[in-house]
Amino acid sequence: MHTSFTGPPAADTHPTPATAEELERHKAAITRLGNELRALVEAAVRTAATPDTLHRVAEGVRHVTGQLTGRRRARADIPEVDEFPAGTRIYSPVTGAGSPLAPPLRVTPTDDGLIGHCTLGIAHEGPPGYGHGGMSAMLLDELMGRACAAAGAPGLTISLQMRYHRPVPLETPLRILARVTGTDHRKSFVTGSITTEADPATDLVTAEGVFVAPDPRRVRALFPGLTADGDPAGG
Ligand SMILES: CCCCCCCCCCCCCC(=O)SCCNC(=O)CCNC(=O)[C@H](O)C(C)(C)COP(=O)(O)OP(=O)(O)OC[C@H]1O[C@@H](n2cnc3c(N)ncnc32)[C@H](O)[C@@H]1OP(=O)(O)O
* Residue 228 pLDDT: 59
Q: Find out whether the beta carbon of 218 lies less than 6 Å from any atom of ligand 1.
A: yes
The residue contributing the CA closest to ligand 1 atom 29 is 214
Give the C-alpha separation, 48 to 61, whole Å: 18
Q: Find out whether the beta carbon of 235 lies less than 6 Å from any atom of ligand 1.
A: no
Helix (H) or strand (E) holding 187: strand 187-196
Looking at per-residue pLDDT, the higher value among 15 and 64 belongs to 64
Q: Find out whether the beta carbon of 186 lies less than 6 Å from any atom of ligand 1.
A: yes
Strand partners, 157: 211
- Report the chain's mean pLDDT, rounded to a whole number: 91
Q: Find out whether the beta carbon of 3 lies less than 6 Å from any atom of ligand 1.
A: yes
Under 8 Å CB-to-CB from 17, ≥6 apart: which residues? 80, 231, 235
Q: Among 12-16, 38-42, 90-94, 199-203, where is mean pLDDT lowest?
A: 12-16
Strand partners, 74: none
Q: Which CATH number fits domain 20-222: 3.40.50.300, 3.40.190.80, 3.10.129.10, 3.40.50.150?
A: 3.10.129.10
Domain spans in the chain, listed from the N-terminal domain onward: 20-222
Phi-psi region of 54 (alpha: psi -120 to 50; beta: other; left: phi over 0): alpha
Which of 136, 144, 156 has most ligand 1 atoms within 8 Å of CB, for mutation? 156
Q: Find out whether the beta carbon of 82 lies less than 6 Å from any atom of ligand 1.
A: no
With 0.80 as the threshold, say if the pTM is over it: yes
Q: Phi and psi dihedrals of 84, rounded to 5?
A: -85, 135
Distance 214 CA to ligand 1 centre (A): 6
Which of 6, 90, 144, 158 has most ligand 1 atoms within 8 Å of CB, for mutation? 158
* Residue 72 pLDDT: 87
Query: Does the pLDDT at position 231 exceed 60?
Result: no
Query: Does the pLDDT at position 225 exceed 70?
Result: yes
Q: Find out whether the beta carbon of 35 lies less than 6 Å from any atom of ligand 1.
A: no
